[in-house]
Amino acid sequence: MARGGESELTSLVLSESHVRTLVERMLKSSGRRLDLSSPFVDASLPDGSRLHVVIPDVTRAHWAVNIRKFVARARRLSDLVALDSLTVQAAEFLRAAVESGLNILVSGATQAGKTTMLNCLCAAIGPRERVVTVEEVFELKVALRDVVGMQCRQANLEGTGEIPLRRLVKEALRMRPDRLVVGEVREAESLDMLIALNAGLPGMCSLHANSARDAVTKICTLPLLAGENISSAFVVPTVASCFDLVVHCHRDPTGHRHVAEILGIGNRVENGVIETYPIFRRQNGVLRAVASEVPSPERFERAGHVPAQLLHDDAVGAPDAPESPASRPAAAHHGGPGGSGSDGSSSGDGRAAGGGRRQNGRGSRAGRGSRAGRGTGRVAP
């Protein structure tokens, strides 16, 4: 058993028959099955916990049962501030970004707090918006009045009836959403997510990554799994035109979860790589603003925010003065396979057609295309 991120032994011992009975009872309400033909199961329990079971002969000898209980200690960005996961200034910036309709990618390792962050970001969505969430298993808890949540379904005994995440993303677009939230993208569904965002629909999603820069590289790679006819020449510029921010979550050795970095994604693609730049970064253990401007400032202004105040709030813990464009380190660039990303590999031409800027909701993002003065250096592996 793990408590607070630390594993501990218990004195409770269950026989295999007891474990089997408990699992069958837990699965009864989920409608999912577990047998030799389907030795894995992933299900949501009535209290919101997530159940994952693997049975022999996939496991060596015993049933492997994992129950992840979600303790709702944070429901809003202000709760993350109270937990010392965010600063007040960073929380206000993220709240304004959500209200302005920016597309946000939440990244982090396993148990880094990605789902919690996604829930807190969703709490900043306007009360009049219609939100559609799609997940493999229900985890998100969006406290809004107009929310439709959908989860995947496994195939039945005849091998039919499966509903994958790609299908749910496509169905969500037919449900008149104002905002699309994908719990986690892992494979080809990332392509459908990109297409939805590129059509003008604001959204958020999460994925596993070791850093914010790795997340940009990964979101440029995953859509290629959708088919051989999908190329990085389409994916890379589409990612650049769709996503605005990466919020990277981290869990330290003590089990404390916090935001390690907030990365801006530029609209510029050169030689198949995407310009990125840090907006907030941890310095001496404190998350500080290190950028002089926000991405897509015109969208913040349309939502009633003053972009200059979001990164220059002297009343918030006296943060370090933001870096000027001249003193800022060279921006990082990312691309898909064959593209120059955080691993230093080289990419094909990402400037080909396919990543057209969206016409609805996001505007031209011209304000993000003038970052040439920030530097175009590449991050070494």
Q: Let me know: does 67 contact 207? Beta carbons within 8 Å.
A: no
Q: What is the pLDDT, as a whole number, of residue 11?
A: 84
Torsion region of 230: left, alpha or beta (phi above 0 gives left; psi -120 to 50 gives alpha): beta
Give me Rg for the CA atoms of the chain: 21
28 band by pLDDT with thresholds 50, 70 and 90: confident
Q: Let me know: does 169 contact 196? Beta carbons within 8 Å.
A: yes
| Alpha carbons 290 and 312: distance in angstroms, whole number | 10
Look up residue 189 and give its amino acid: E
Higher pLDDT among residues 280 and 43, named by residue: 280
Torsional sign, CA 174, 304, 265, 211: negative
- Concatenate the DSSP letters of all residues of 206-257 into one string: EEE-SSHHHHHHHHHHGGGGG-TT--HHHHHHHHHHH--EEEEEEE-TTS-E
Cβ burial of 153 (10 Å; 0-12, 13-18, 19+) is middle
What are the tens digits of pLDDT across the range 177-218?
999 999 999 999 999 999 999 999 999 999 999 999 999 999
What are the tens digits of pLDDT across the range 271-289?
888 999 999 999 999 999 9
Q: What is the pLDDT, as a whole number, of residue 336?
A: 54
One fold for both 15-68 and 77-374? no
Alpha helix (H) residue ranges in 107-188:
114-122, 165-172
What are the tens digits of pLDDT across the range 126-156?
999 999 999 998 999 998 999 999 999 888 7
Torsion region of 166: left, alpha or beta (phi above 0 gives left; psi -120 to 50 gives alpha): alpha
| Alpha carbons 31 and 47: distance in angstroms, whole number | 16
| Alpha carbons 51 and 27: distance in angstroms, whole number | 9
Distances (CA, A) of 251 to 135, 169, 248: 23, 30, 10
337 band by pLDDT with thresholds 50, 70 and 90: low
Tell me the CATH number for domain 77-374: 3.40.50.300
The proportion of the chain whose per-residue pLDDT surpasses 90, expressed as a percent, equals: 58
What are the tens digits of pLDDT across the range 231-272?
999 999 999 999 999 999 999 988 899 999 999 998 888 888
- Secondary structure string (H, E, C) spanning 292-317: CCCCCHHHHHHCCCCHHHHCCCCCCC
Where do the domains of the chain lie? 15-68, 77-374
- Concatenate the DSSP letters of all residues of 56-123 into one string: TTTSSSS-EEEEE------SSHHHHHHTTSS-HHHHHHHHHHHHTT--EEEEESTTSSHHHHHHHHHT
pTM of the predicted protein model: 0.75
| Alpha carbons 75 and 120: distance in angstroms, whole number | 5
Residues recorded for the chain: 381
374 band by pLDDT with thresholds 50, 70 and 90: very low
The proportion of the chain whose per-residue pLDDT surpasses 70, expressed as a percent, equals: 81
Peptide bond into 314 cis (omega under 30): no
Q: What is the pLDDT, as a whole number, of residue 186?
A: 93
Tell me the CATH number for domain 15-68: 3.30.450.90
16 backbone dihedrals φ, ψ, rounded to 5°: -60, -35
Average pLDDT of the chain is: 83
